[in-house]
Structures are given as structure tokens and as C-alpha cells.
Structure 1
Amino acid sequence: MVKKNRMINALLELGKKIQDRHPLLEATIHRTSFHNPWFEKSNYWKALDALAESMLTREELTKWCDTYQFPVPGEHGKTVGLIFAGNIPLVGFHDFVTVYLSGHAAEIKLSSKDPYVFPAILALLSEQDSDVEHRIKIVEKLENHEGVIATGSNNTNRYFEKYFESYPALLRKNRTSVAVLDGSESADDLNGLAHDIFDYFGLGCRNVTKLYVPEGYDFDPLIQAMNPFAASMNNIKYKNNYDYNLSIELLNRSDIISTEFVLLKHVPEELFSPVGMIFYEAYDSVSQLHTALVQLREQLQTVVGKYPVAGVSHSGFGETQRPGLFDYPDGEDIGHFLFDLSCKTVS
């Protein structure tokens, strides 16, 4: 109980330091914005604020620990290797928090795209919980792990499967998110959907990359809701992607809906749209669409809108980038994985 309270209080204090814009976080975010132009400072703070508000609350942290009876006794603690992806800011934070609260130790391989802020977070946590320095290590290569949680592309995952084949592991592949619309969405719904599409320049697996719309759908209200994100073109990387995709579609004389900052293209067979573009597909029947999406569930992170899909996480408009501790990537229950790991013996 003492250990659990210490960890929860340390995370709550981290949440306060995020809200207060702690100077160490300010400095490392500033450095990151030059290191990786995709990670603009405003976006990084947006990610941190979402973590503080959705994960770092006493209710959420306590409920998660109590659900799995964490932390485990010291004699049952293992070392979990974590490999962070680098597509959006702090995308591996959820994995870290769950391992930290479980009582296990961690070896963490950071993404080269996001190497500065997470060490600052550990430094701030260690001010409240000195055990962090001994239990959580940032490494160049995983060497002393007894279990693994790793996120990467489909190609990287094949390497992970081979390399970690003798360890208990949660290995994640490429996924994306979609939205199902019926034309009755309110202005607030569409404003939320615009965030689901554009936050972090659409680079996350929880970003919507494809829209399912009824025949004859009027895109004008959605485009109007997306207009505030025209500022995405101020980011040179986003602008280069948009310009490249526009030139390709013009050369191919594709039938697209073109704005000055995003392209909408009818592509029935694809889920993953490139940066600066959104795919869409018309449907005749919601029930038939549901059946089709169930078949695609291994590629989906979450479905946005009023129509849940069996076997896939469901999000309301504007909620995709604010997951809580129980919103597990790929639907894999990390708590059960970590509990089972504590029960295993090491040969």
C-alpha cells in the first residue's frame, strides 16, 4: 500500500508539473521541436496535457492498480523491455505508466525521433519516488528483459517476432482509425472529428485516416470544421507531403476534393491515407458496413462516431487522442500481461 501510494502521488505530482509548465519540460520540448519538426511545441504540450487529464488522475490510477492488484510484491517483480515508437509525442507513455504501477522494472529503448522529453519526465518522477532511478532504465539495447512490449511498423514487427520469440511479448503492428458518419453530425461533432484527423498532423494510429459516409454525403460542413487546421501548412514537413500528394493526384487526373491544406479522395480499398490526405468511401447500409469493418478489425485502432464495431475500440468525436489507462493499444490488455508475467518463473 505504501509503495502504491508513493507511485500514484509521484504521477499526480508529474501531472501538476505538466500543468505548471515545468522549466525542465519547457527546455526539452523546445529542444525536441528543433530535433524533429513534426513535434511542434504546441503539439507536445497538447500530448502532455491529454496524458495529465486522462491518465494522471487519482481516480484513474487507483482504479487501474486495484483492478489488477498492483503493485506486485518485490519477489515477483520482473524486468520488462519497452520499445517506444516515435510517430507522435510520448506515444510510449501509456506502456511506461502501466509497467511502473505494476511494480515491475523496465528497460526502455526510446525512439530517435523523441529522445529528450521522457528522460526529463523520469527525472521529475524521481524527485517524488527515488525508486525510479533503480527500477527504470533507458538503454540503447534491451539486454536484461524478461518480457517485452514493443510498437513498430509491420516490417519492424517481423524483426520483433524473431528477436523476442523466446520471451512473453506484446508486439504491435500498424493500425489506423476510421470514422463512420451518417450526415446527422452536429457542428461540435465535426469540430471534434477535425481534431481526430489533424492532431499531431495525423501521424498517430488513433488519428482518423478514412471516413465512411452515406451516398450523396455533403462534405462542406466537414471542410468548414477542418478550416482551422489550414495552419498545418505552416509546418514545412506537412506542406511538403501535401504538395507532393497534390501533384501526384493532378498528374493522374484523380477525382479528388481539394482544399488548400487537405485532399479528400474516394478510395474504397485502402484504410491508411498519406499525410495531407483523407480517404473516404460511401456505404449503402450501416449493418453491411459493420460487417465489413469487423473483417478489418486487425487493422483498426478505434472507430469514431455513433456506430460501434464489434471487437474494435470505440471513440466519441474528438476523443481519439485522449485515451485513458484502460484504453489499450490494439485491444491487448497490458494489465493482464503484466500480472501473468509476475507469475512466471525464470529458468
Structure 2
Amino acid sequence: MSWIDKHIDQIRKVTGEWLDPVNTSLQEAVRKTVDEGLFSKQDIEFQLSVLRESIRNNEIEEWAERSGLNDQKNAKGTKVLCLHAGNLPLVGFQTALGTLLSGADYHGKLSRKDPYLLKSFLDIMKKAGFGQEVQYSTELNDFQNLQADKVVFAGSEESVPEVEEKVLKLNASGEEAKYIIRTAKFSIAYLNDWNEEVKRDLVEATLRYGGKGCRSVAVVVAEFTLNQVKEELMDGIHEFWKENPQYQQPAPVLEYQYAYNKAIQRNQIWLGDFLIQETDELPDTDFTVNWVNGGEEKVRELKALFGKKVQSVYTVGGEIKGIETEKLANAQRPNLWWKPDGMDLVNGLIK
């Protein structure tokens, strides 16, 4: 068996052990996260169930194959500094896994908003023999003089210059270091059909995690108006909230938007904690989805207009010419090899 085959097999084996429901270290990480009010148990268990399904489907092996990883093409000896976000539970898992899968040495600045879950994964990796390749901390200062070859960062476009300045000041990255920066904020769904399955998938894509992830739908382009599906959509949202009450949080700022929409006679669905409005403006308010009546050309127009802020375009059937799309049902259940900001992380690290 070649080095890379052994490496991939070990990564898969240890990841599976970490995800085992009887793993006490993972159970403790979940407990601490919930007790400190960082994330709800429902969201954590949902994320873990998606990852378990990915491992069962051999997605680690497929990711390696898709990336062209082999004995000659890998990132062995490359120091990678990962600056993780903390807006979703385990949002940094794919980056950590991909870095280790590539063969690179992983150095991770964990988010204080999610300090336990990813750490439990990294701990078991260290115990399994990846000790020299795995280093992590919640303090950026701990990576002083690291001189990383590559830096992976997820955050807002506005924060990029400040982050780069801090990393350079600490000498945490080398002068020739390559930065892999992700700044996408939301995704678009294109609906040319409507039924119970589409309704369920759309509600999940918009409301899961409170709509805070870049894969969360914040713009819907549909070949029918909001009024045509209003009652069914409201029923779907209330049903989802009944199963996931953690998302019903007061959002006073939306009251002003609701009043404004009403004054200009803009069609909308007002649910107190959530607002859907008919407009093709840039979505820049939490707990809000913008609904646009249009077809494929409108999707292309908005994707071009919003640029790098768009992560993915989802469809419920068929493709859109000139645009890479994903299935709406996979919005919050992405494959391990999904491409944040359009980049395959493993492929980006081994180049």
C-alpha cells in the first residue's frame, strides 16, 4: 500500500472514531458547548449527523481522488495556518480535515465561539500519530514566528486587511505565503417548481443555523410570486420552528424594515422573528430573505451583481447555463469536497 493510501485510510479511520456516538471526548465537547450557550444541541447533532453520513459514503476517499492527491502530488512539509470562523458549529471542520488530508502540517487558530468541538477532533488526531502535524490555539499570538507557507482565512471582506496585517506582524506567515481567503456571505436558490419537497428544502436552507452560514439561502429567484406560495411557505416555516425553537429570537430591527415595506406597498411575509420580502436588493440584514420573481437570466444577473458575496446557487431540477449549481436539498448537507468560494481546499494546498 502506498503512503497516500495509508494516509487516507488513517484519516478516515480516526475521523470515524471521533464521530462515534460513544466517543466520550466528543460528548464532553458537545456538553460544554451547549452548557455555555455557544450552539444548540439540535444544531450540533444535525452537523454531526451530516458528517457521519459523509464518512459512511466514503467521501474522504472521493475528496482525495477529486483533488488529484497522490504520492507525488501532496502538501507534505507545507505549514498551513488556518484561521477558523465560529459562526456555525464545526464550521472549521472541513478546513482542518482537508489540511490534514493534503498531508500538510496543520496549525489552527480556533474561534472562541466554537473552542471545544473542533478541538476534540484535533485531539484524537494527535493521539493517532498526527502530533507533529497538528498544533492549535484560540490565541493568534501563539503562532508568532510560525512562518506558515499558506494561510486559510474565512471572514468578511472588510476584515481581510486587518487580519493580514496581524499575521505579518507576528511573523506567523512567511513573506511569500499564499493566502486562501473566503469571504462569501450567502447563497441563492432558483425555483422553477414548487411542491412539498421543495418547500421543505427551502425552509431548511434558509432557517437552519439561523441563516448565518454562507451556504444559507438569502436570495430566492422564483418563476412565481411570493403571494402564490405564501400560505404554504408560512406553514413550512412554523413547522420548522416547532421542531427547532432555538431559531425564534426577537429581531427588533426587522420591525422597521417591515414598516418600511408596508409603507411602500412591497409584498412581504412578516413572522416577527423572520422576514421575507420581494426585492432584488443585496441581502444585508440577518433573518431576512429577498424574494425575486424571475428566471435563469435573473439568476445570472444577480450572481454577477453580488459577486464574491455569493457562495452557491441551488436549483431544484436541471442546470443553469454558465453557472455551476448544486441541489437545494444539499444546501445544509454539503459533501466533504464542496468548494468554499469556488476553491477545492486540498487542491489549493497541494499546488
TM range (shorter): 0.7 to 0.9
Alignment CA distance shift 1:272-1:51 (3 Å): farther
Other-structure match for 1:157? 160
Alignment CA distance shift 1:28-1:216 (3 Å): closer
Residues 168-214 of structure 1, C-alpha deviations (whole Å, 9 max, x = no match)? 110111421111123x2221121111111111111100000121123
Alignment CA distance shift 1:102-1:71 (3 Å): farther
> How many residues are aligned here?
330
Other-structure match for 2:34? 33
Unaligned segments of structure 2, at least 5 residues: 169-174
Other-structure match for 2:211? 202
Other-structure match for 2:171? none
Other-structure match for 2:182? 172
Which amino acid letter does the alignment assign opposite residue 186 of structure 1?
N
Other-structure match for 2:270? 258
Whether the aligned pair in 1 keeps the contact of 2:275 and 2:289 (CA below 8 Å) is yes
Other-structure match for 1:239? 249
RMSD between superposed Cα atoms in Å: 2.8
Unaligned segments of structure 1, at least 5 residues: 341-347
Structure-1-length-normalised TM-score: 0.84
- Quote the Cα distance in structure 1 between the aligned partners of 2:245 and 2:133: 41
Q: Does 1:293 align with 2:303?
A: yes
- Quote the Cα distance in structure 2 between the aligned partners of 1:74 and 1:108: 19
- Alignment map for 1:278-289 (pairs within 5 Å): 278-283=289-294, 285-289=295-299
- Alignment map for 1:1-347 (pairs within 5 Å): 1-2=2-3, 4-37=5-38, 39-54=39-54, 56-57=55-56, 59-66=58-65, 67-70=67-70, 76-127=76-127, 129-130=128-129, 132-139=130-137, 140-141=139-140, 142-143=143-144, 144=146, 145-162=148-165, 163=167, 166-182=176-192, 184-217=193-226, 218=228, 219-231=230-242, 234-235=245-246, 238-241=248-251, 244-252=252-260, 254=262, 255=266, 256-259=268-271, 261-275=273-287, 277-283=288-294, 285-305=295-315, 306=317, 308-309=319-320, 313-340=324-351
- Quote the Cα distance in structure 2 between the aligned partners of 1:19 and 1:228: 30
Residues 140-164 of structure 1, C-alpha deviations (whole Å, 9 max, x = no match)? 2233111111111122123234455
Residues 231-258 of structure 1, C-alpha deviations (whole Å, 9 max, x = no match)? 48843x75132xx134323543634312
Structure-2-length-normalised TM-score: 0.83
- Quote the Cα distance in structure 1 between the aligned partners of 2:25 and 2:301: 49
Whether the aligned pair in 1 keeps the contact of 2:18 and 2:121 (CA below 8 Å) is no
Which amino acid letter does the alignment assign opposite residue 229 of structure 1?
F
